[in-house]
Structure 1
Amino acid sequence: MSADRTCIIFYLLATVLYLIHNGNSQEADHCFPPEFLESLSMSMKITKAGFHRDLLYTVEWGEVDHDVKALLVQKLPSGVYMDEYQLETLRHDTGLEVRLDSKVDLEAPEYLSTGFTALVFLSGKHEATVPVHGRYHRPADSGVERVTVELESPRLLVRSDKCETPRAVSPHHEATEAPCDVSNHSVCSWLEIRRLQDTGSVSLEIPVGDSSMMLSVCVGTLLTAALSCVFLLRSIWRHGTF
């Protein structure tokens, strides 16, 4: 085979490989076209009252020719917690997919707790209702009946199995990595929709005790316990049994 023919064959192979690679790149680029990205919207609101609330998330997007998976990355302060056992039950009963980034002490008060992050997966869904619970706070000064806990808006990430590596198409969209799904420890590439970061926080008010009543409550509790003990001892002395 002559050198010229070898060069021609090599050039043709290189051209074919380039066209294949370029075609795949264009397909990846168009996985989330600009009109789809502009159609994305997100809202969060809180329902119910008292210590036990629900966070209602809604994510909307326009039509696209492949499945879209959305992920909400929600940071939560020490004033609230999520019950991983309740979330596991809801996963089996309703399909809710929430993963916590760390173990959460369900009994600890606010001043002995730390914040954590919840990952809310929306696999083909547009809504999720996630239960959240208020922690007990330190008693406040007289006249203060409630404390306010602020919940910042979550980060919104999207991906599709059609796109192996979503690309940042503008300063408002950035490629990042996060767990692929609620039960998988592997990491996938996601596209973060940065323009929706400031969609608005929500807050909840949690009842707190009155510190000025601490002495009277302690005295009342001790008196009640003492009287109960006296009554029980008297019953035992008289009857030899309860």
Structure 2
Amino acid sequence: MYLVLFTVFVCLSTCHCFIQKDVQKNESHCGLLKQWLESSLVSVELTKKGFHREVVTTVELSPDVLSGVRVVLLHRWPRGVYVDPYQLASLSEHSSWQILIDSAIDLEVPAHKTAGFVTYVYPALNGPTPRLKVAIPIHGRYHEPSYDGETFTAVEMQHPELLLRTEKCSQLNNVEPHTVVDAPCAHDNSSTCQWLKLQHQERGPAGVRFPVGDGSLVAPVCGGTLLVTMLCCVALSKHMWEHRIS
């Protein structure tokens, strides 16, 4: 009887030690993840002009980041712009990053009839000093005409959010001032995982200006178009009557 009790006690003590070690390892890796995130820098640059721009995001991670760390750039796009899924698919085939779009993109819908969307960019870590650079082409949508004399409209775009995770940190606890968010585990995986998000830095949104039509010219343009159409129909009918074209 005593031998059985002693054996049970030894087994419970051993299990407790293993669990305690696993908890300590998890806390250690989570602490490293937090340190790596705090030493990371994210910068954004808008290039090109007109309706077709490019958002270039550069991420500089801590040089001591270990292998197995996953990175995601979460972009929250406004309704005034869109991305071309076919163009992005072609780019990702020749780049070191993959992208996931959270909803279908209609390329023809004007800005006031659509909504914003979210993209998740999964770059690959390369080199001993991880420095990631992702260039995403964006396109401006057509906007409603202006009735107050403005010839341009401004579209504000938020800076991307940096997310990190590692399989060795299974439970994210006590990560202030950062927050834990749920996001897709991979670009081809519909399941979600916990990611540690970099606390927002003090910086304003990036602004893009797109040309818009003059609403005060709607009536003259419509009237002129109708008049030209009627004159063309009369001239064409006269020509067909004179030449007996049926």
TM class by shorter chain equals 0.7 to 0.9
Query: Aligned residue for 2:95?
Result: 94
**CA distance 1:68–1:235, shift in 2 (3 Å):** farther
Residue from 182, 194, 212 that aligns with 1:208: 212
How far apart are residue 230 of structure 1 and its match? 5.4
**Cα offset, 1:130, TM superposition:** 1.1
| 5+ residue gaps, structure 2 | 127-131
1:154 aligns with 2:160: yes
What is the letter of the counterpart of residue 86 of structure 2? Y
Question: Partner amino acid for 2:219?
Answer: L
Deviation of 1:71 after TM superposition, in Å, equals 1.2
Q: Is 1:130 the counterpart of 2:136 in the alignment?
A: yes
CA offset digits 1:99-139 (Å, max 9, x no partner)? 11111221111111112211122232612111111111111
From the superposition, tell whether residues 198 and 71 of structure 1 become closer, same or farther in structure 2 (CA, over 3 Å): farther
- Alignment check: 8 A CA contact 1:41 1:196 kept: no
Aligned 8 A contact 2:37 2:164 in 1: no
Q: Distance in 1 between matches of 2:7 and 2:178?
A: 41
**CA deviation after TM superposition for structure 1 residue 26, in Å:** 2.4
1:177-201 C-alpha deviation (Å, 9 max, x unpaired): 21111111122221222x2354432
The separation in 1 between residues aligned to 2:68 and 2:120, in whole angstroms, is 19
- Range 208-217 or range 223-232, more displaced: 223-232
Residues 100/43 of structure 1: CA separation in 2 closer, same or farther (3 Å cut): same
- The alignment partner of 2:11 has SS state of helix
Q: Aligned pair in 2 of structure 1 residues 44, 137: CA closer, same or farther (>3 Å)? A: same
Query: Which residue in the other structure is 1:17 paired with?
Result: 15
Partner of 2:54: 54
Deviation at 1:209, TM superposition (A): 0.5
Match of 1:190 in 2: 195
Question: Residues 65 and 95 (structure 1 numbering): CA distance in 2 closer, same or farther, change over 3 Å?
Answer: closer
**How many corresponding residue pairs?**
237
Q: 1:240 to 1:51 in 2, by over 3 A?
A: same
Q: Structure 1 CA distance, aligned partners of 2:137 and 2:190?
A: 23
- Misfit runs of 4+, over 4 Å: 226-241
**What amino acid is aligned across from residue 50 of structure 1 in structure 2?**
G
How many percent identity over aligned positions? 33
How much is the aligned-residue C-alpha RMSD, in angstroms?
Answer: 2.5
Offset of 1:73 from its aligned partner?
Answer: 2.0
Q: Which residue of structure 2 lines up, in the alignment, with residue 41 of structure 1?
A: 41
Q: CA deviation at 1:35?
A: 3.4
Deviation at 1:144, TM superposition (A): 0.8
Structure 1 runs not aligned, ≥5 long? none
